[in-house]
């Protein structure tokens, strides 16, 4: 069975493109869980998405009512008891991660077919990837607002010892229940916990997880991760919001990873000179895209604040209403930001 991720219509395996949306269909398995009961509490209604680590379903909550999203991870035949224990331990920690800009994870367990599942908020909204696809590029003030909200969520995750390690436009959802952009950061399903960095090398994860187009150099190399890996990935997203394209162009996952590790990334003004992006703005993003994590901003919030200071201080974004007082504070930073970044060689 195949699914169109735009209209949520199902098709037979031999159909390649959605007749209505003319986009490639996603294979969702011969027997998706539609109609199944999970933990005798959730009735699966439909497939709403698919990722590298599993399929996401929309489900009805039988006792309390309302809708939830259930991500069923791909079954791993060789998943041993230790791996399952690690999965449940990390998910238990994530269940305590509560923040307005993070999709809540409510519970976890195993299906009758021994597939791990996660129960999350169901969000009515549009992904940032769809926004970029339809608009090409976003105005600077909207980019600042989205980036600030993502960084608020990341700051809380990092404070609790988690690295998201899959920051990409598809995992940033703009909640449509609000008249303004209200960001929800999704998919902590492959998040990396701080304790993994402290494991003996032989016990550390042997696989590289993430989306190659948005992975940091250290992630591509399978090295221990820190919050600065998320800063790099977010900077790639910000680059795409400003220019409408990714800084790295590649035809395969392997090519993306090789270029990320070996090639110097271009400045935004190099790929989109017609946009007139001010140098301070370009340098903030370039700093976050440094190969060495130590050369990036010290935290996600520093990255967001430096970006806002550079945009408002250079007049590249407009100051609106209630934000005036906060922006005046940020504008005072722009001189310091320019001083810090001016001498660097991105």
Q: How confident is the model at residue 72 (pLDDT cuts 50, 70, 90)?
A: confident
Please write the tens of the pLDDT for every residue from 84-100.
Answer: 666 676 677 778 889 99
Q: How confident is the model at residue 30 (pLDDT cuts 50, 70, 90)?
A: low
Where a domain ends, among 121, 140, 169?
121
Give the closest residue to 41 by CA, choosing from 108, 140, 127.
108
Same domain, residue pair 321 and 184: yes
Same domain, residue pair 174 and 46: no
Same domain, residue pair 81 and 208: no
Where a domain ends, among 121, 136, 153?
121
| Residue keyed to tokens 């999709």 | 103
Which positions are catalytic? 166
Q: Is residue 13 part of a domain?
A: no
Same domain, residue pair 287 and 251: yes
Same domain, residue pair 189 and 285: yes
Strands 116-121 and 125-127: unpaired
Residue 77's domain is classified under what CATH number?
A: 3.30.200.20
Where a domain ends, among 105, 121, 137?
121
Same domain, residue pair 177 and 291: yes
Same domain, residue pair 252 and 325: yes
Name the domain count of the chain.
Answer: 2
- Assess contact for 44 and 59: CB atoms under 8 A: yes
3-state secondary structure of 332: coil
3-state secondary structure of 241: helix
pTM: 0.78
Same domain, residue pair 328 and 235: yes
Same domain, residue pair 117 and 176: no
Same domain, residue pair 145 and 66: no
DSSP string for 64-127: T-SEEEEEEEPP-TT--HHHHHHHHHHHHHHTT---TTB--EEEEEE-TTS-EEEEEE---EEE
Same domain, residue pair 205 and 304: yes
Same domain, residue pair 183 and 255: yes
Please write the tens of the pLDDT for every residue from 224-259.
Answer: 899 999 999 999 999 999 999 999 999 988 999 999
Q: Is residue 182 part of a domain?
A: yes
User: What gap in Å lies between CA 254 and CA 211, rounded to an integer?
Assistant: 11
Which DSSP helix (H) or strand (E) runs through 37?
strand 37-38
Q: How confident is the model at residue 148 (pLDDT cuts 50, 70, 90)?
A: very high
Domain that holds residue 248: 125-342
């Amino acid at each position: 069975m195949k699914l169109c991720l735009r209209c949520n219509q199902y098709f037979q395996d031999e159909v390649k493109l959605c007749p209505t949306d003319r986009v490639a269909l996603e294979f969702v398995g011969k027997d998706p869980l539609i109609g199944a009961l999970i933990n005798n509490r959730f009735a699966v209604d439909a497939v709403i998405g698919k990722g590298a680590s599993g399929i996401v379903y929309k489900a009805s909550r039988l006792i309390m009512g309302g809708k939830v999203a259930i991500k069923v991870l791909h079954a791993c035949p060789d998943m041993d008891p230790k791996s399952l224990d690690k999965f449940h331990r990390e998910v238990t920690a994530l269940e305590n991660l509560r923040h307005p800009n993070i999709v809540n994870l409510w519970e976890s367990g195993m299906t009758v077919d021994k597939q791990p599942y996660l129960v999350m908020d169901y969000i009515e909204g549009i992904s940032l990837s769809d926004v970029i696809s339809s608009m090409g590029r976003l105005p600077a003030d909207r980019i600042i607002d989205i980036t600030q909200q993502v960084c608020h969520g990341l700051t809380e995750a990092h404070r609790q010892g988690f690295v998201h390690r899959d920051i990409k436009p598809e995992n940033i959802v703009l909640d449509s229940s609000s008249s303004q952009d209200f960001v929800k950061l999704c998919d902590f399903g492959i998040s990396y916990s701080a304790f993994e960095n402290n494991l003996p090398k032989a016990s550390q994860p042997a696989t590289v997880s993430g989306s190659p187009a948005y992975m940091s150099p250290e992630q591509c190399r399978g090295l221990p991760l820190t919050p600065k890996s998320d800063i790099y990935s977010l900077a790639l997203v910000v680059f795409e919001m400003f220019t409408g394209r990714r800084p790295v162009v590649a035809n395969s996952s392997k090519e993306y990873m090789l270029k990320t590790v070996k090639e110097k990334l271009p400045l935004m003004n190099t790929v989109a000179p017609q946009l007139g992006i001010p140098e301070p703005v370009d340098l903030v993003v370039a700093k976050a895209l440094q190969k060495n994590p130590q050369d990036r901003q010290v935290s996600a919030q520093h990255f967001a604040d430096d970006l806002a200071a550079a945009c408002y201080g250079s007049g590249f974004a407009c100051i609106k209403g209630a934000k005036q007082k906060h922006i005046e504070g940020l504008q005072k930073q722009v001189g310091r930001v320019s001083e810090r970044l001016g001498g660097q060689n991105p």
